[in-house]
Structure 1
Amino acid sequence: MAASKAQMDQLAQQAERAEAERLAHRYRLEFIELEKQPVDYALVQSLPVDMMLRNKFVPLQRENGHM
């Protein structure tokens, strides 16, 4: 029996998450689920959008003067 689109989507999401976790581990970074991370909109708005796009990042928080 062929897998449904929902099942295929779920498998793709699981594979994507596993790859993201593997990369985080490889580069000794914390894996963060962005859906569960609160967004500091003031921090995001304080930076130029083109800089975030060019460097492919979104700041999550500011702590001790560091992002």
Structure 2
Amino acid sequence: MLYNKWWKNTGTCHNEDTKQESKANSLGVANVGGIFVVLFVGLALAIFVAFIEFLVNSKKNLSTDRVCTMSTI
């Protein structure tokens, strides 16, 4: 019964307010600015964490791989 109601007997929409214009506001920077703030803060945090990981791994590799550069030639 619900399948027939919603899929087969869709009918037409009779809206009496179709003559009235929509008063929806367009999305501007003021409306979606918070999204960009969150994105930039997340990006800065990710770069900071990647830099810290690079430093930690570089120090770890330096202490374990004490190889003279002249011995590889």
Q: Which has the larger radius of gyration?
A: 2
Which structure ranks higher in relative contact order (CA pairs < 8 Å, sequence separation ≥ 6)? 1
User: How does the TM-score come out when normalised to structure 2?
Assistant: 0.35
User: How does the TM-score come out when normalised to structure 1?
Assistant: 0.38
Q: Which has the higher helix share?
A: 2
